[in-house]
Amino acid sequence: MSNRIAFRIISPALVLSLFSLLAIYNADAQDPPRSPPPKQTQQQNEPKERKGDQRQSAQVEGQARSGGERIRIDTDMVNVDVTVVDQNNNPVFDLKKEDFIVYEDGIKQTVENVSQEEAPVSFGLVIDTSGSMRTKLSSVSDAVLSLIKQMRRDDEAFVAPFKAEPELAQNFTSDKLALEGALSGLYASGGTALLDAIIGAADFAHEKGKRRRKALVVFSDGLDKNSAVKEKKVIEAIKEDEVQVHLVGFIDEDMDFFRFRKLSAKRARELLSRIADDSGGRAYFPQDISEIPAVVAQIVKELRTQYVVSYYPTNVKRDGAFRTIRVDVNNAGGRKLTVRARRGYYAPSEKGQAPAASQKKG
């Protein structure tokens, strides 16, 4: 699947790196599978996860009604990353399988397994560097630096600043020094294309990220004046890419946000919240720059402390259609718990792939 919004590469060394990777990809598309070329790192040699990387294939055997003949039916286990927090936004760790209830397209499903996973993450650091972020950029850079320092050995991240178009300052890497170096060249100027940046980063995370769990952490003031895409396309993309989005929005109530689209600050908040909620992430709106470190700590905590809820869907059609998901929990003991999970997924098609966004209607 090609990016809907292409990154502008701002590192000369990265241009050469991506050009080489593109040449390898094109050659593999034309020739039979072969051994990886020599002199590549272990990370580069790892197989790229396919579109349905959050669904693992399984075989279910049953008895045919006539003659007792055994039949085999292909089905796919759906894995949903779920965050559960209490009324103080503290993660809840003591839930069991019987505490979770899952609905797909409104139909209750049988939960097969629930586990707590501190899995490695492939995530993007998406930073608004437009002119309106000038007074905030230094504090945002410090917060991103803190997030980088909290990365674990198997995590990987990329840095994607954006102005009037999204850019790629550092490709996926586990090298903290390389990621920190990408922050040193950031400066604030120009317009803002927030929605373009989110959709481009989500596609990039899905296509290039090596870890099952993928996420974006986006810092912006929400003043979008230059995006080519609309909200509907962004929501569609994050559903297809299965990327969790955490948004840190600096919404100034006195500023005329989205004035070219005649949207108020309130509607800007609602927009960012919808994008985050649909992906299973969360939108944060700090009132002051001093709150950013606490926000980053909360994001890291939520990325680390998630349940994986697994089930075999009752709908076994391989039609590439979108299936809605709702995850609830039994609030035992009268606790007020909040559940965050992605709102759905695209079922595989007969070829085992969800349809590309360009093939979807609407």
Element (H, E) at 24: helix 12-30
pTM above 0.85, yes or no: no
List, for residues 54-67, the tens digit of each pLDDT value.
444 443 333 333 34
355 and 318 in contact (C-beta within 8 Å)? no
DSSP-derived pairing of the beta strands 100-104 and 107-109: antiparallel
Give me the pLDDT at residue 146, please: 92
Query: Which of residues 33 and 271 earns the better pLDDT score?
Result: 271
Question: In the CATH scheme, what architecture does the domain 121-304 have?
Answer: 3-Layer(aba) Sandwich (3.40)
Examine the pLDDT at 271 and tell me if it is beyond 90: no
| Amino acid, res. 321 | A
Helix residue ranges per DSSP H, the chain = 12-30, 42-45, 137-149, 176-183, 194-208, 231-241, 265-279, 292-304
CB neighbour list of residue 210: distance below 8 Å, 6 or more residues apart: 43, 46, 48, 49, 122, 156, 172
Give me the pLDDT at residue 75, please: 58
CATH of segment(s) 76-117+306-354: 2.60.40
Give me the pLDDT at residue 268, please: 78
Q: What is the mean pLDDT of residues 75-91?
A: 88
List, for residues 281-300, the tens digit of each pLDDT value.
999 999 888 898 899 988 98
Q: Six-digit token pair at 118? A: 């501190």
List, for residues 174-233, the tens digit of each pLDDT value.
999 999 999 998 999 999 899 999 999 999 999 999 999 999 999 998 778 889 999 899
What ranges do the domains of the chain cover? 76-117+306-354, 121-304
Q: Phi and psi at residue 2, in whole multiples of 5°?
A: -85, 150
